[in-house]
Structure 1
Amino acid sequence: MNIKDLELFITVAKLGSFSKAAKSLDTRRAHVSRRIAELEQQLGAPLFTRTTRVMALTTSGKRYLAQITPLVSQLNHAGEVFKHRHDDIQGKLRIGLQPFVDKLMDKHIAHFVHAYPQVQLEVFIVPGQHQDIKRLHLDCMINAGEVSKGNIAKQKLMTFERKMYASSVYLEKSSVIETIDDLHYHSLLGFRDTEGTLEHQWRFQQTNVSANYKVICSDYNSLYHFCLGGAGITLLPQVIALDAVENQQLINVLPELSAGFTDINILTPNDTSLSPVAKAFVEHLTDTISINGTANHSD
């Protein structure tokens, strides 16, 4: 249980709706619903009664709301005492983001910019190779996947899971997919990583599938848009497909199958000391993301 969950509960109670709370907090309804359910499980009592039309606080929920509202307010006020130290951090920060990783980091980076008003941030979208750090004189870089050997320090930020997706448009025009063997009769879209490696096989928990690709992309953004446009079936990070799945634009094909998990890391030069600005940025991301959870759970 953390203060973010308590703030979320207070917002839902105030607005009387998961959807309204999600819109207010710029997140997804599924995330709000899951966090409240987990909070109820931790407390051992329901906080809301839910019907198709009405959602209201239970008696326990009303008591809990009355107890935690002043406490959350006091905790937030106490945090303001330390805000002045952020004003001492000033200067320029150059960071690199791998395509699609920017979509995962945008809110965290925006929060950093707000918290450190004296920092000027310059962002580069880079392929994801660690050599870009020195080539572009970056303070740090955030990338997904393996990091080739180099004088680089890395810290894990989050993890995402890859699954199979196709657009509803594509599936309406194609043959039915009931088993993994049916993929041989479909158009597959492939991914080539920053090291130039192409996945010749899709590896799942119990089996592998040889892939004969119709389209090959070197970044997930392009892969996502080709899939959304109806070009075929592909493996995508679950986190960037969630919105389209919610809107029924993308379908999770054979949802019981997973192509495994990949880490997102923040990379920094190992041969130079970090500036105070870079240290503050790395600490900000590692602290806030560890609180908010992994990418595959951040609806």
Structure 2
Amino acid sequence: MNLADVALFRTIASVGSLSAAARRMGTTPMLVSRRLAGLEAELGARLFHRTTRSLSLTAEGEAFLPHATTLIEARDSAFESVSSGGSVLGGVLKVTAPNVIGHSIIVPVVADLLAENPALRVDLTLSDGVIDIATAGLDVAIRVAVMKPSDMIATRVADNPYTLCAAPAYLARFGVPATAADLVGHPCLKLHAMDHWPFTRDGETHQLRIGGPFSASTVDAVRAACVAGVGIAMLTYWDVHEQIARGELVRIALMDVEPLEVGIWAVFPSRTHLPARVRAFIDGLRDRLHAHANAAP
């Protein structure tokens, strides 16, 4: 099987038309159509429904697509392992990550990789939403979640516990809550997707419904309101570690409950043939997070 034709099939599936695939590959629609027909003949199956106005995957094409991705990843991994003695990274590293961690952690890791590997390119998508990495053609997604390794093709990179915090001026004026019940008397700053704050007590998870004068769609906005003294926020440690280190925010420890422990995870589209550039990125990310955690007071 010609892997170039397999890669062409994956490109057609990604861009949605023969003409767009031809432009991306620097060839003609006629040649693309001919090569696709040859691949379909070799497989003994039609991969696309094609009309003059539309193109869509057949059931056989849907079934073949993940295998095509695995084949191309294996080829790329093989090339990387022998190019320049395996010591220099190349290709395009495609990553998605949450906004705050993306700016404060991911970008510095990427900067180090680019400085050490001139042939490497990085495409970073920052989003607080969940992106389908297989459909988007990404190498890895960095996610903050409660997750088990069996839930997805993922590896835990670092701990990232939820952290209650407030500005020193706010606490001096309104006092420090001592228990979960005390939070009811304080303005709580919430993310739109988080109407309840998760705590654990004796190994069990408890959800506390919170309310307050301010809610926002992004971590940045909630954190800024917290620093401004508007109220108490619950964000993850890596969202507020810099503000805590500078004294702009203070951690709040409650006597009867603990904030839920979550983690930073790297999620992959495939179980096999992880490219060297992805392994190097995960290693660099883990090293940076652990170094910061060990340096924290």
- Fold match, TM over 0.5? yes
Alignment match of 2:277 (pick from 272, 275, 280): 280
Who is 1:250 aligned against? Answer: 249
How far, CA to CA, are the matches of 2:291 and 2:254 in structure 1?
A: 19
Q: In the superposition, relative to structure 1, how do residues 204 and 294 fare at CA in structure 2: closer, same or farther (>3 Å)?
A: farther
For the 8 Å contact 2:139–2:268, the answer to whether it is kept is yes
Quote the residue 1:118 is aligned against: 119
Aligned CA distance change for structure 1 residues 95 and 119 (closer, same or farther; 3 Å): same
Provide the C-alpha distance between the structure 2 equivalents of 1:245 and 1:160, rounded to a whole number of angstroms: 14
Cα gap change, 1:217 to 1:298, in 2 (>3 Å): farther
Shift in Å at residue 141 of structure 1?
A: 1.5
Q: Measured at CA, do residues 233 and 161 of structure 1 come closer, stay the same or move farther in structure 2, by a change above 3 Å?
A: same
Would you say the 8 A contact 2:96–2:142 is kept in 1?
A: yes
* Aligned-pair CA distance for 1:163: 1.8
- Distance in 2 separating the partners of 1:291 and 1:254: 26
1:289 aligns with 2:270: no
What is the CA-CA distance between 1:170 and the residue it aligns to? 2.3
The 5 A counterparts of 1:102-141 are 102=102, 103-131=104-132, 133-141=133-141
215-224 or 282-291, which deviates more: 282-291
Q: 1:153, CA displacement in angstroms?
A: 2.0
- Distance in 1, matches of 2:291 and 2:199, equals 22
Q: TM-score, normalised by structure 2?
A: 0.58
- How many pairs align? 209
Distance 2:280 2:227 in 1: 36
Q: Deviation digits for residues 34-59 of structure 1, max 9, x if unmatched?
A: xxxxxxxxxxxxxxxxxxxxxxxxxx
With over 3 angstroms needed to count, the CA separation of the structure-2 counterparts of 1:95 and 1:135, relative to structure 1, is same
Equivalent residue for 2:199, pick from 184, 203, 215: 203
Identity of aligned residues (%): 15
Deviation at 1:119, TM superposition (A): 0.5
- How does 1:136-151 map onto structure 2 within 5 Å? 136-146=136-146
Matches for 1:199-278 after TM superposition, within 5 Å: 199-205=195-201, 209-254=208-253, 258-270=258-270, 274=274, 276=275
SS of the residue corresponding to residue 213 of structure 2 reads strand
Query: How is 1:24-103 mapped onto 2 (pairs within 5 angstroms)?
Result: 85=85, 88-102=88-102, 103=104
Structure 1 residues 286-295 or 241-250, which shifts more?
286-295
Q: In 2 relative to 1, CA 109–145 (structure 1 residues): closer, same or farther, beyond 3 Å?
A: same
Match of 2:48 in 1: none
Say which SS state the counterpart of residue 249 (structure 1) adopts: coil
Structure 1 residues 251-270: Cα deviation after superposition (integer angstroms, max 9, x where no partner): 21236653122111112212
Q: Quote the Cα distance in structure 2 between the aligned partners of 1:187 and 1:225.
A: 15
| 1:178-234 CA-partner distances (Å, limit 9, x unpaired) | 443321111001234xxx5x3424414357643124333343222211211222101
In the TM superposition, what whole-angstrom CA distance separates every residue of 1:59-111 from its partner, at most 9, and x where no partner exists? xxxxxxxxxxxxxxxxxxxxxxxxx6466432222211112221233332222
Shift of 1:114: 2.1
Which ranges in structure 1 are unaligned for 5 or more consecutive residues?
A: 1-83
In angstroms, what is the RMSD of aligned CA positions? Answer: 3.5
Structure 2 residue identity aligned to 1:267: V
Post-superposition offset of 1:297: 4.2
- Paired residue for 2:159? 159
Q: Which residue is 1:41 aligned to?
A: none
Give the conservation status (yes or no) of the 8 Å contact 1:152–1:269: no
Contact 2:106/2:285 (8 A) holds in 1: no
Moved runs in structure 1, 4+ residues, more than 6 A? Answer: 147-151
The 3 A distance-change label for structure 1 pair 292 and 189 is closer
Say which SS state the counterpart of residue 214 (structure 1) adopts. Answer: coil
Distance in structure 1 (CA, Å) of the matches to 2:245 and 2:88: 43
In structure 1, distance between residues paired with 2:144 and 2:238: 13
* 3-state SS of paired residue (1:203): strand
Query: In structure 1, what residue type is equivalent to 2:233?
Result: T
Instruction: Note the residue ranges of structure 2 that are not aligned, 5 or more in a row.
Output: 1-83
Q: Report if the CA contact (8 A) 1:113-1:119 is conserved.
A: yes
In structure 2, what residue type is equivalent to 1:262? V
Partner letter of residue 286 of structure 2?
I
Contact 1:160 1:239 in 2 (8 A): yes
C-alpha contact (below 8 Å) 1:151/1:271 kept by paired residues = no
